[in-house]
Structure 1
Amino acid sequence: MRKQWILKLTSVSLVAVMAAAMGSQALAIDWHPSRTQSEVEVSESTTTTTTGSTITVTTPTGDQVQDSEAAVIQVTPVSVTLTANAAVEAANPGATAEQLAAVATESGLSYAANGQLNNLYNQVTNAESTEQLLETTAPAAAATFETTVGASASEYAPIALYDVAASASAEAVIAESGSVQVAISVPGVADGTQVVAICWDRNGNSRTVPVRVVNGVVYLTVYSSGPVMIMARTQVQG
């Protein structure tokens, strides 16, 4: 007898991930990659480090992050990085990714920085399971996921992808304090949603980072510039 299962996020406002199981067939997650293009927003425009330094937090303004002399962190959704690189490619037909790597784009990031997040988006689109996704894109994070989070990666699914880019001044401040908290809003996330982040640096090194949700605001500890994948815990209901 066929039994239909609905896989939903632990917060009722995040009902988005669907799955079906038939007999002994394994539960398969439909990633709904378009959901990861949701427009994450900055909830607090400044953040203060443990050493007392203040960093401005913003979404893309059109200015290049690395050109800023101020301490700035920019939060850029994958929808923006995809569009920015598409524009560069359209203006430079036939150019390779290596040739375009340093090109400044409309996102405020370089073509290469956009590309790092865009490549992750493609991996999410093609992934067949959370475990496979993490093993492929974030082996270091995958190795520590369960001990850090207290649950298997199979119980989580991606809900947002974005880039965190720090200006040179902000990077110096973060290096001095070790990390900084950045507050953002993620569509659908509410108090009670169990959330975790996988973070990469520009060299592709990954780590699993616990996330706090307070009054619907997602507080992420940032250690360096690079892509971030927010994942929410799922549960099976009959």
Structure 2
Amino acid sequence: MQDLFAIAPLTHDASSSQAPHAHSEGQLFWIQQGLMSAHTDAGQWAMPMGCLGWAPPGHRHGAAYHGPTRGHNFYFAEAWSRARMPPDIRVVRATPLLAALLEALRRDDLDAERRAPYCLTLADALSREPCHPFYLPMPSDARLRNLAARLMAQPASADDLDTLAHSAGMSRRTLMRRFQNETGWSLGQWRRQMRLRHALQALAEGASITAAGMEAGYDSLGAFSSAFKRFLGKTPSEWQAKAIKPGLPD
């Protein structure tokens, strides 16, 4: 059974987006510089540098690149992907093991027989790695989706639950219950994640630390830095310095 179908560089010099689409083969994104995000009807995924994103065969998804983005795309044959790889879209950290396996697959001297064990180990390691925390689920109810879209367009909005419930045409209690049921998250948890993702995108596009935090609705630079470091293990300035650093190995 054929496994690896093709490898292609992922290169975007400025912010851009791709309309929702699907591939017959499985696609693995390896983000080595910058920030990419993917979206489906079910939710949105942020892929910072040092992450892998997996899109199974036939899964419709859109993509956006926030500032200069570099990495590689690995395409795996449809039958092999369905048999070996995760069945759903997922984003994981590019652990040293996963990164080493992908580097090995890029070697020119690997024939199909020598490549097969690397691909099998990759599939197993990818399936076992915990999903990255930068996922934002989306509700399916039309009123809740409209509310979510408005909040994403205005991340610094200070509207409280009563105001949001009124704008969605439902009671506060109904809003809280339906949002939790449809996304698995409380609205407060969802807003915190949405704000952090907005700030991450702004940093990748070159915004200052202060501007990124303020635009995302953080009350202070300290609050922004603390929230950011809890999720990424780096301060905003540390992450930005590496994310937009020019130049990558071929």
Of Structure 1 and Structure 2, the greater helix share is in 2
Q: Normalising by structure 1, report the TM-score.
A: 0.25
TM-score by length of 2: 0.24
Higher strand share: 1
Higher relative contact order (CA 8 A, sep 6+): 1
